């Protein structure tokens, strides 16, 4: 038995075949843009998927996508995808592929991937934060993803850091993801470059070109601006983690995505500040912030395909 995982992203959609243990048997990607509607996208996706491996032994297809609603099997008004409105992707895909399909948002898929293939196999209560362009999160309680009344639970990237803080693409100000994300740390670097006079290799990189990788490399080479940017980012993250912990009392919090590759530059200040602001009752429990057990490159496909084992295949 094998599963297909599809991660629909703003620019590219990644897809791959995986077995029950999380081995990615084959994978590829295609442009998400350039299709007038979701049906034409899905038809091309089927062609591309079949070009790398047969669908014969596939028991189901899991989709991860921004603004996906698990309850309805839809994608709803995604700001970063080319299709406006509400689209019944799961139903359309079942018809086109002739396979059972399930969809959830990308951060929930990542959390499911951690539970099915990663470090959370034996955990029933944990949180996964996916820190890419934005900050997504999936909350698991009693071994089940938390969807909430309307299917929107786990929008931790939009908790409040500061009343009059940075403008967020969601329309609010001061959201966590304006500080803790690839975009957030870029903004922090630019603020530090403006505020201080230290020379830094980052001064030669434009805002548009600056990415987490450059900042990570600069920090590793001892650049003060880069190190301070991670320290600041970790402090903001840690402060909000202390709030997340008292909500659902998780066993662990996993970090996935570009920012997590900075290692101790981000984990140390985040853990330190989480504990600093955490209700003392929880301190004995040593709740660890740790890197995800999924390889970053495979994580979107693994997250999406894990939905198949969780929701479509009966437990042995």
Query: In the bound complex, what is the minimum distance in angstroms from residue 12's beta carbon to a second copy?
Result: 24
In the complex with a second copy, the residue whose CB is nearer, 69 or 216, is 69
In the complex with a second copy, the residue whose CB is nearer, 30 or 168, is 168
The C-alpha atoms of residue 269 and residue 20 are separated, in whole angstroms, by 36
Torsion angle of alpha carbons 257, 127, 82, 38, nearest 10°?
120
Site for a second copy in 241-270 (CB under 8 A): 242-244, 246-251
Q: Is 239 in the site for a second copy (CB under 8 A)?
A: yes
Among 122, 197, 280, 315, which residue interacts with a second copy (rule: CB under 8 A)? 280
Query: In the bound complex, what is the minimum distance in angstroms from residue 165's beta carbon to a second copy?
Result: 11
Query: In the bound complex, what is the minimum distance in angstroms from residue 77's beta carbon to a second copy?
Result: 9
Query: In the bound complex, what is the minimum distance in angstroms from residue 291's beta carbon to a second copy?
Result: 19
In the complex with a second copy, the residue whose CB is nearer, 138 or 300, is 138
The C-alpha atoms of residue 276 and residue 268 are separated, in whole angstroms, by 12
In the complex with a second copy, the residue whose CB is nearer, 154 or 184, is 154
Q: Which three-class secondary structure string do you get for 264-308?
A: HHHHHHHHHHHHHHCCHHHHHHCCEEEECCCCCCCHHHHHHHHHH
How are strands ordered across the β-sheet holding 101-105? 24-31, 12-18, 2-8, 58-65, 101-105
The C-alpha atoms of residue 182 and residue 180 are separated, in whole angstroms, by 7
In the complex with a second copy, the residue whose CB is nearer, 22 or 118, is 118
In the complex with a second copy, the residue whose CB is nearer, 34 or 148, is 148
Among 261, 282, 290, 312, which residue interacts with a second copy (rule: CB under 8 A)? 282
Q: Interface with a second copy by CB under 8 A: which range of 2-10, 106-114, 259-267, 271-279?
A: 271-279
Q: Is 285 in the site for a second copy (CB under 8 A)?
A: yes
251 forms beta bridges with none
Q: Is 272 in the site for a second copy (CB under 8 A)?
A: no
28 forms beta bridges with 15
Q: Is 71 in the site for a second copy (CB under 8 A)?
A: no
Site for a second copy in 143-182 (CB under 8 A): 144, 146-156, 158-160, 163, 170-172, 175
In the complex with a second copy, the residue whose CB is nearer, 4 or 289, is 289
165 forms beta bridges with none
Element counts in the chain: helices (H) and strands (E): 8, 13
User: CB 228: neighbour CB atoms within 10 A?
Assistant: 18
In the complex with a second copy, the residue whose CB is nearer, 94 or 243, is 243
Query: In the bound complex, what is the minimum distance in angstroms from residue 280's beta carbon to a second copy?
Result: 5
Main-chain dihedrals φ then ψ at residue 203, nearest 5 degrees:
-70, -15
Query: In the bound complex, what is the minimum distance in angstroms from residue 306's beta carbon to a second copy?
Result: 20
Distances in Å between the alpha carbon of 17 and those of 22, 66, 204, 304? 9, 21, 41, 10
Cβ within 8 Å of residue 142, ≥6 positions away: 124, 125
Enumerate binding residues for a second copy (CB under 8 A).
123-125, 139, 141-142, 144, 146-156, 158-160, 163, 170-172, 175, 239, 242-244, 246-251, 277-282, 285
């Amino acid at each position: 038995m094998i599963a297909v995982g599809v991660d629909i992203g703003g620019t590219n959609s990644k897809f791959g075949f995986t077995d029950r243990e999380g081995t990615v048997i084959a994978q590829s990607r295609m442009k998400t843009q350039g299709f007038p509607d979701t049906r034409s996208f899905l038809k091309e996706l089927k062609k591309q998927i079949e070009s790398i491996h047969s669908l014969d032994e596939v028991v189901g297809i899991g989709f991860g996508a921004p603004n996906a609603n698990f309850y309805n099997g839809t994608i709803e008004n995604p700001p970063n995808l080319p299709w406006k409105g509400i689209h019944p992707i799961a139903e359309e895909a079942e018809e086109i592929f002739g396979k059972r399909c399930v969809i959830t948002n990308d951060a929930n898929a990542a959390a499911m991937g951690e539970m099915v293939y990663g470090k959370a196999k034996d955990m029933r209560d944990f949180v996964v934060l996916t820190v890419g362009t934005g900050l997504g999160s999936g909350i698991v309680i009693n071994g089940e993803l938390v969807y909430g009344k309307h299917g929107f639970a786990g929008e931790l990237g939009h908790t409040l850091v500061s009343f009059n803080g940075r403008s967020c693409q969601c329309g609010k100000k001061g959201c966590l993801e304006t500080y803790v994300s690839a975009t957030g740390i870029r903004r922090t670097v630019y603020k530090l470059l403006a505020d201080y006079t230290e020379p830094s290799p980052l001064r030669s990189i434009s805002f548009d070109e600056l990415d987490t990788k450059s900042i990570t490399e600069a920090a590793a080479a001892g650049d003060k601006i880069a190190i301070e940017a991670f320290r600041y980012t970790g402090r903001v993250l840690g402060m909000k983690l202390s709030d997340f912990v008292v909500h659902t009392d998780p066993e662990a919090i996993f970090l996935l995505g570009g920012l997590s590759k900075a290692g101790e530059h981000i984990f140390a200040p985040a853990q330190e500040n989480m504990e600093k602001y955490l209700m003392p009752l929880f301190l004995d429990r040593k709740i660890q912030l740790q890197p995800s057990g999924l390889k970053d490159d495979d994580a979107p496909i693994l997250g999406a395909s894990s939905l198949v084992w969780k929701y479509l295949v009966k437990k042995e």
